[in-house]
Each structure stands twice: as C-alpha cells, then as structure tokens.
Structure 1
Amino acid sequence: MCPNRPEGAESDLSPAVRTRAKALALALRQATASVGGRGALLHRWDPGTGMLTLVAADGVAAGAARAWSELREEQDVPPSCALRRGVLVRTAGDSLGTGAAGTVAVPLVGADGPIGALSVLLSGPDGPDDVQRSFLHAVAAWATERLERPAGPPYREYDPEHEKTVRTVELTAALSEAVTAQDVVRAVAEHVLAPFGAEGLIVSVFENGRLTRVGEVGYPLDYLKRFEGPLNAGMPITDVLRSRKPLFLESPAQIYQRYPAVTDRILMGTSPKMAWAFLPLVASGRAVGVSVLSYSRPRTFDEADRALLTALSALVGQALERARLYDLEHARAQELQSALLPRTLPRLPAAVAAARYLPAGRGEQVGGDWFDVIPLSADRVAMVIGDVMGHGIAEAATMGRLRTAVRTLADLDMAPDELLGHLNDLVSDLGEDFYATCLYAVYDPVGRTCCYSLAGHPPPVLVYPDGTVHSPVVSPDPPLGAATPPFAAHELPLPDGSLVVLCTDGLIESADQDAEQGLTELLRVLSTATAAGPARRTGTDQEEDARRLEELCDTVVSALVPDREHTTDDAALLIAHTHAMAADDVASFGLPDDPRAAGQARELVRDQLAHWGLDDLSMTTELLVSELVGNVIRHAKGPLRLRLLRSRILTCEVYDGSLSTPRIRHATYTDEGGRGLQLVAALSRRWGARYLSDAKCIWTEQDIPNGSGDRTPPHWSRPAEPAPSILRS
C-alpha cells in the first residue's frame, strides 16, 4: 500500500485493487530479499504530468517514504534516473535516512515504454551481482504486468518469457510459505517445470557424504535406484556440489564427452533424458543439495535461462535448508510425543479401548494432546484425556510430565476431583504460561457407575446399549493452571456394554465449526455408527471387541476430520467399551467388630473359593484375610466388611471405618508383631488402600493359577443378562 494512504482507506478499495496491492507488496518483499536489502518502493510514472507517484512500499517507514511520495522525472534520484535511462541504476548513500548504504533502481517497462521504477534500499556497500540483477528485472517485469492490468487480465498471446517471469515471482511466494521439504519440491515442480519446458525433476539433500532424494517428478523408482549410494568422483552432481556452480548439459553428446563413466547410468534405463540442468542448492555458504531439471529432448540454455535458473536455485536452496531444519525439529518432537503416549492400551476385564492421535496437518510444531487407560484396584478402570495448550517440544514434554503424574496419582486410588486438584498444583508450578485441559474418569464394573471430573475439557460422550447417545451438560471447571480447587465431581450410571467416548477439542473444533457444532456432529456419527441390530455379546472375545472399536475410531475420525492435511490443531480420541462384573463374581460379607471376625472371614473365604473352584488359592487367601482383618481389629475401627471379586485375578477387599493409612513396618528380631503387611506384600501380586468418604479399603490381588476354576472372565462368557452389542459386526 502507499504509505500516505489515510488509515482505514484500504477497506474502501475494490477487491481487484486490494488484490493488486497485495501482489505489489509481495513483489517488493521478494525484491528486498533477493539482495538482502532494507526495504523497497514502487513508483508509477504519469507522462502527462511528468511525475512519479509512490504506489507501494515495504520495509520502509511511512515518514521516510514520504520524501519520495512524489518525484519529478528530471530529479537526480534513483527512481527518476532509472526511468529516464531505461537501465538498472545504483547509487551510494542513504537517500531516505533509513541507514541504507545505497539504492538500486530498475525501470518498469511496459508494452508502450517505461511506466515507473522499482527501488531497493541496500544494506551493504556491494551492489547486486548478475544473478541478483536478473532476478530484480524479473520482479520488475512481474510488477509491470500487474500495474498494466488493474481491472483484470486482458487477452494477450502466450509469451514464454513473460510466463517464466510470472512463474518466478510465484515460485518465490510459494517457497516463502513452504514449511516442509516436500512443500519445497511441490513448489518447484508447480512453478518451474512447465515454464522451462522440463519433464523431470529431482531434488536431493547432501548429508554425511551421501545424496538423499527428497522428491522427484517424471522418474520411475527403478530408474532412480541407479543413483543411490555415496558420491564418487567423475559425476555431474559431485562437480556441482564441489564448485557450487550450475552445470548445463544440452545433449547426450555433451554428457558423454565430459562424463563417460556415468553416461550409461544416465542415458540407459526406463526413463532416459537428453538434456540436464544441474543446479546447486546453496544456503549459509555451503551446498545443501542439488536440484536436477531434465528434458526428453536436447535443448539449448541461453544466457537468460541460465541466469534465471541460477537465481531460482538460490531461492530453492534457502527454502530447502529452512524446511530441512523444520523437518528435523518436527521429527524429533513427534518422536518425543510418540514415546510419551502409550504404545498400546491394556485390555482389561472391565474395559477394552481403542484410541487415535492425529497430529496437525499444518503448523510448525507438535501439540500436547494425550490419553491413557489405567487399571485400578477392584477391576476399576481410569480413563484420562488431556491437552496442553500451545504447540512445541516444551508442550510435548509437559504432556509427558502430566501423563506420568496422572499414573502416579491414579496408583494412589484418588478420586477424580482430588486427582485433578493435585494435577492443577503441578501445572501451576510450571509457570504462568502453562495451561492444560483434562478429563479424568473412573469406571466401576461392580457398581456400574462412571465418576469423572473436568478441567476446561469437552465432556464425555456415552453410548448406551440401546443405542442412545448422551453427552452430559455440566459446567466444567477452568483449565489446569488457572483453576482454584476443589473440582466438581460427577457420577453417572453406566449399564453393562456402554461406550465411553473421550476426545480433545481438536476433534470437534475447527475453523469451519465451533465446539458445540462439532460435539453435535460427534453425537450424530456415533448414533449412526452404533445403530446395530440385536446381535448378542455372548461369545464375543476381546480380539473381536478391539477390532470393532478400531473400526469405530476410524469412522469417527473420517467423519470429524475429513481433511487432515489442512488441520491446525492436534486431536485425540479414546473409546472404551465397558463390561460390568456379573453378580455371581462378587461376594460381599459383613463381619463383627471383634476378634471373632478373623475366624469368620477365613471360613467365608474357604467356602466362597470352593464355590468358584479356586481351592488352590484358599490357604493363601485365608492368610491374607486374617492379617487384614486382624490389622483392623488392632489399629482401626468398624464397621467391617469383606468383599471378594473374581475376574482374571482374585481380589480380596477388607473395609473399615478408619481413615488411617496402613504402613509397612521394619520389625526387629525381638518384636512380636509388625510383620502383617510384610506378609500381605509377600503373598499378593499387588496390594494397596483406597479411601471413600467415610471409610477405607485395604485390597490384595492374586493371580488365578492355570487349571483353577474358569480361566475365562465369567462376565465375558456368561453375563447375567446378555445385552445387545452396540458395536457393528
């Protein structure tokens, strides 16, 4: 835009004029970048008044540009001199008080003569070299074409040179937006091959003495394998990398004359070429790779072709180096993130789960989305999903810390609201700039309930066995790092065979829809995908269950994120199929609050294990129960209750009315007691304590030996009341 335009005037311009202003600003940025300048200005000449009017400026302060807002054609300043002489003009000195070392101006020459001038303020004493001069003329020609067609492109005959100029500036614009190395290859293929009549393209990077292909166009893979491996002397690419100068071979005769040792490899095969332009890709003063344009017929490269291709290769080299650095950082960040996410999800008696993590298709860095499924005592299952706000390695590392913290706190059998309170303290300690959302839920297969708490996170979605899809409407607490505990606790009944669906906002929110619209779409997709017939769950194994969940995840992702390449946020999805414990697999008994309780507990255990066909575990379980009950009698208070759970393992629980924490003591040789919990730890595969509102539970777990009882979890094979499956066959 012209620097003396009144504020707000741009909104009054027509779309065509605004488009032209953006194009001219782009041309000025590319001109400045090509010579490493400080800024650029564009003047248009009015033959009637003899005045040059400033129509666009970039990188130049409005106050400084105002001195050149109107120039007479006879003035001794670079734009006027370039206009009068019709050639590139370079002057020394700081003409506008910007700290520039000089100015270079190029005339804008239209179909009927000069129409203006393009000026670039130089940052150093050296003027543009031949390649830079060629590029400045190309930018000037492109700007001239834009100035001559303000209302739209008039009809003109095809001009190859004009097409090259236009494509050159378009290439610089595409390269400025390229993020990955593949983006660079696509930009070169789109904007270079056709204007220069080439049919083949290979872009390679030079690393550790080897040339690695980044991308190619017009070559079959079996032909490209001829050139894999370390570089050797006597090859065109080797000479180009060493000299950092382009090499143009116009016919097979030329390449045979200069490189007879590699002629057969280049000319023979399924994709022979007859002319080549080997262009070094130089960045930071070193050759970072090679770009090869090839032609199916011999051709001559004139001086204009050579200068322009050389200029383009410099732009490609800079873009490729930047993209390679991004690719390297992005790959490392993704490796870190992948290492921090669970490699596989456990298949538990009470829940089988599947998940998807979708990295953003666009954007410079990874995000901090995570999920996890954690087995708890009494066959309960914790499901967690979260999102660290922001993108980058720091956020990915923070995600890993939070996931580890959640697992540690979950092992303490904390309630969801209490766990989020501790997690909030952790995030707050990271600093004021760190925030995260989180949903932590616990499914109890015995009570058939789901308890959860939210910290700024989308609510869970529940799919019931009858096909009803429901998302509870609750007021979520603020995100972790911004919240003030306590967090709200929510509890929902969850019938046997229900689905629990958790996701991050990247799945339901995008530039095209808000979170509420996305949640509505998620409910619709789940309702359609799970509208199964009356197929019974009887006989369904976990492998089949997991397969159906994987298919459901794919269905949801395809519907909610149809264009992953253009997403700007990471997304995570976790779906768990819950299974309640059958009534026959739960045995609960009340015990008296006196020393007789230990003996009664042993008898109850012996009878119940005999009923389940687990007599082999009877002696060990009686010892465990005796120690746990005796510990309550000595150190806690009633009421006492014993509960046994049978699934893949045998769980023994003793409840009491005390909130004191049991601890393992280091008893001396002369102590008569204090070894009870040591015995419990030695006899069980795992043990611990969890706390209720007015009581606590000490639990132990034992493996069920092979051949003892029914090894298949009973609630998988013999549900009390078979329920229809909500997963499609």
Structure 2
Amino acid sequence: MRTEDVLAAIATGLWRWDNATGIVTLDAEAARLLGLPAGPAELTEAAVRSRFHPVDWNEIDGIVNLAVAEGTLAEARLRIVDENGRVLRTVRSRSRPLIDGTDYHLVGTLQEVAEPPAGTAARTPVTGDWRRSREAFLLDAGRALAEARSTAEVLRVAASLSMPGFSPDGLAVFGVAGDRLTIIGHHGHNPGDDGPFADMPLDTDYPAAEVVRSGRAIYLPSPEEYRARFPATWPLAQRFGRESWAFLPLIVAGRTMGAWMAAFKHRVAFTPDERSVLTTVARMLAQALARAGVAESERELSLGLQRTMMPVLGPAIPGMEVAARYVPTGGGLQVGGDWYDMIQLPAGRVALVIGDVQGHDVRAAGLMGQLRIALRAYASEGHRPDAVLSRASRFLYGITDSAEGDHGGRFATCLYLEVDPATGAVDIARAGHPDPAIRMADGTVVQRPTAGGLPLGIVADTDYPTTRLTLEPGETLMICTDGLLETGGHDLESGWARIRKLLEQHDGADGLEVLADSLVQAVHGPGSHYTTGPFADRREDDIAVLLLSRTPGGAAQRVAVRRTALTVAQAEPERIAAGRRQLRELLHDWADPEQVDAAVLMVSEMLTNVLVHTDGDALLVAEATGEHGERLLRVEVADASDELPHKRRPGEMASSGRGLLLMEMLAQAWGVDPRGEGKSIWFELREGAAPAESAGPAGLESEAPMASFYDDEGPPAPPEGPPAAEPLA
C-alpha cells in the first residue's frame, strides 16, 4: 500500500514549498484540504496563500522564518477560506526546512483538526471578519514591500500578495517612457503575452494609458463594461479570460509614474472596502518602486565609478605574483577614498601604490581619482619615490585649498613602492600610511618600519625619505589601508595582531589570490563581491589590500633564512623601540626566551651607542639561518664613524661604559668589522647554546680594558636594565 494512500486514509496531505521559485507542490489530499480539486497540483505561492486566513498567514510567516533560522520544526494551525473569505476548515501544518545555501525548501504535512486549540479563538477568532483580515493583509503587504530592495523584488512581492477574499489572478505594472506606455513587469501571463502592451502610445484607448493621463483609478467589474468603455483594446484583454479588472495610478510626490493592473478570474464588485485595499496597495507599490529605482540608480552609479576609478592590475611581473582587493564601506554609494595601483616604469621596474583619501563618500572618491592620476603622471616622468610623493602632496594641497568649500582641506595617506623584479629591491616612500608587512618563506611575519612624512595635502612642501628593503625569493609583502586593521572594533595594534595571525597561517602553496580573499573574509565574512549581503551594513571603513610575492628561483633553499633590516636616524631615537620589536618578531619561535631577551638588550645598547657617540644613522641588520632548534642569529649594527670601540673598565657609579661587557657576557661571539667608510659591530647567538665565558671580540685585543664602545666619554648612555626590560629608549 502506498504511503500517500495511508496518509489520505487519515486525512493527511503532503506538500512541498520551493522558496527559490515560489512553487508549492500538493498531493491529492493536501489539495482537497485547501478546497481545491482532489488531485496532485503545482501552484504559485500567491495561489496557495489565498486559501489561508490572512491573520493566520501573518503568524505562520514568522514561525517559518524562525524555523529556517534555527533549523527546527515549524508547526501551526491555519484556517482555510474560500474565494469569499468564508472559513471552510482548520488544518494543522507541520514542516521541516531543508536549507540549500541561501535557498530552502519546506516539506510538510496538512491534517484537518476538529477545532482550534483552547485560547486560540480568543486571540484570532474564526469570524471571517473582513475588516480585520484587511488590516492584517495591509500590515503584511507594507512590511514585505518596505523590505524589497530592487524592482524585481518589488514585483515578486506584489505577485505574492493575496488580498482578503478577492486575490487577483494576473498583475501588471506599467511605466512611462516619454510619450509611451511600457511594461515594467507582469505576473500570471505567458511569455510574449505582454507584446501588444510593451510600447503603447499614451493616447491609446487603453485603461492603463487613461489612468496615467488622468491620475484616476478605473474599475471594470465585468467584461461587458470593459468592452463598452474601451472597445478598441477589448480584443487584447478578451483572450486572457478574466472577469474583472482594476487599473490604479502609481503616484509618488504628486507625479503619476505609471499604473498597476489587477485582473481577476472571478467577478469582483469593487465595493468601497475593496477599492480602499486596492488604493492602499497601489500607494505602497508606488513608493516601493520609487525606492528601488533610486537604489538601483545609486548602485549603477557606484559600480560605474568603481569601474572607472579602480584599475585592474597590469601585466604580470616576471618572477613575481601580485594580488589586490578593494572593499568599499557599507551604506550609500559603494565608493570611497581608498585605492591601489600598479604602474609600469622604465627598465622593467614596477611601482605599487596604495592610499586612503580622508572620507568614504563621492567627494573622497573624486579626490582619489584625481590623486591617482597625478601619481601616475609623476611616476611616468621617472621621478624617484620621494619626489613622487612630494609632488603629489603639493598637488593635493593645491586642489583642496582652492576648493575648500567643496573638499574641506582633505588629506590622504599613501605608500609608494618602486620594485626591481630582477633583484627584489624595494624602495619605499611613506606619507602617514601604515607600514608594510613581510611574510618570510618559513611563515614568519614582521612589520617593516619605514621612514615617512606627513600625509599628502597637509602642507605644500614636505620631504619623504626613502627606505630600501630586499624582497627575498619566497617572501610576500603586504600593504593595506587602515580599514583592514581597524574594522570590527580593533585599533591598529590589535588589528595588526589579527592580520599577522592570518598571514602566518596561510599556506604559501595556495597562492596570493586565496590569501587576499582570506584577509578580507576575516574582516567582513564570506561574499563573492563583498559589496552586498548580510555583511554589507557592518563595514566601518573602506579596505584596500595589495600583496606582492617574489617567486623562488630554481630549487628551494636547503637552509631557511630570516632577515630584517631597519635604519635608525639621529633625529628618530624612538625607532630604537621599533628595532627591539622587529627583533622579537623575527625570533617569535626561538627556543630559548632568555636568549631573545639577551639579543634585544644587546641591540638596544648597540643602537643607543651609535646615536649617542656618533653623528650618523644606525643600520640594523638581523639574520637567522638554519633549522629550528639549531639556528644561528647574527645581528649587525653599522654606522659611518671610522673610530673603533675600545673596552674600558667603568667605575661602580658610572652611568655608561658597560656595552662591551654585556656583549662578552651574553653573546657566543661578537666583534667589530671596519669598512670603507665606517664600521659594523656584530654578535652571534646559537639557539639553545650557553653564552661564551669570556670570548674576546674579533679584531680587538682581549686584554684591553672593558669600557664603552668608544674612547671618549661622550654624553652618558641610557642606563642599563635587566635583560627582560622594555624599552630603553
């Protein structure tokens, strides 16, 4: 015996609702319970909805949405009504949502019940009261139309509306283009049926055209009245077999923007109450269509601006891989002040630019477009990175100062990189922008502090020093705007910690496109274009991110190498703290934390002595080689002074002179290497090894007295502290 026969014997029907298509499939018993002929049927959502009491439908709508959200069973009691709104019976519906991505199916049963449960009658009385049904319907329709965000969605909602007691069988929405009547959308007709109505002159003897001309509704309760009033176009309507028609104006702000037709297979008297419902729906439909039209125009303008202002990456760079992403802020036009660019330069070099104009509105986007063009022009002229940013700052200052009423003196941060693919050399100029980050071949991630100047446009003439680093094979460089770091309640510090973890977890074999997606998804959640969907309204700032990786040449190196470099200028003693932080990041997985503390202390002492006892800058280079647990750390600090250090023996109360003493105590090996101009002081630590007992420095006599790095006393050095102390300068 079939399952369907068993269920029919106990007055239980089966049904299935496809949310994507709006089609409801019923077996014979379910169709009978809904007051339809007892046979399998496929109906539209609107046709099925018209069989339920509107008050009950409002409740089941919320129950189903909750079941879809929670993955639970949806159960409710519903009253079945006929075409006149009279209650035929009460059924119990039980259904389970089957979710497939963003779409879902509802599969359930219908079973007739003798009476509603106790207490239900008092809350939703089975009275067939038309006025209460009308109020419930209008509330439901208003909510659904208010939530529609596109013209297609508005039309879909309008087609699913089931009016109390007189639901239409066919709908059409007409618009106006010049002196022509057009079809915006229709429902309940076959493809091609709209042909005669798609491009009709407004002076045609057709009800919708007259409604647009006059701004007044037309009600045709019978075919005879239609034929009598509009004989010229009656043959066009006759073939659809409808019995009654209502044509209502769609009016927004006093202007008739089109007409709405509701056609019925049964006769409708169009009583005052029924006309009131139709008029209210027409007003809500007009407002929804106007909102959707404005939103679609804004989206089209937004996409056009993006296509115009946001360039695609240029041709491939030999020996390198590039990936980039741009995510506009949520709300309003999907454009802002963030951008990235890649510029081809002479001799095979490439410039990479990333920047952020203050604000994320149309004015910021306009300034961004002008500034991006200016940067391209200056770069193409062959200027070095510092000169490019200096000229760009003068340009932005000029255009914002001369139009302060429009731009309010806005500024922009920017990071400009000139890359030599052959050597991996990267020259960087920075204008108030976050520093770049490097992911090394073994997964170690460090920020690379770079010299910088003020944001562009603040003052007319500004200097932008250049920092050079080398991108080794297998390393990846990341530059981004602050939106990637600060979104989600983070500041720059905690945001960088989040992004650094993602960079460390990335499998280098997946490629930069995967990494770029994972960085954006970690901030905003998944999405194919990141500009729509549930995460769109949560965006706090625009995001631009650009990744550059140097592909390994030939066989992979057998010995892992980590390297970092930092220049500390005389005028920037605060960068000593950046050097200590850089070294800790380089040694983040070093086996012995005490060795890390010792290395940081020695670096702090070496950098401080250069700034105190010489007139030049200090260049810090740190390199770790070998396998984990057996690595060798070598740190060098170079300066331009030719004077070599000599050891002295400081007194008990001396405030300086203990630098070389620390080197002897903490390093396995250390020394001083003279160079053509200047010298390099270095030390080495072997991971897990104990410090040398009293190793003398290479190039210095061991019997020399321990003192400062230099013969002259000079200004007193900062006081020494315990190895774990942070920071000294």
Q: Normalising by the residue count of structure 2, what TM-score does the alignment of the two structures yield?
A: 0.47
Higher helix share: 1
- Structure number with the bigger relative contact order (C-alpha 8 A, sep ≥ 6) is 1
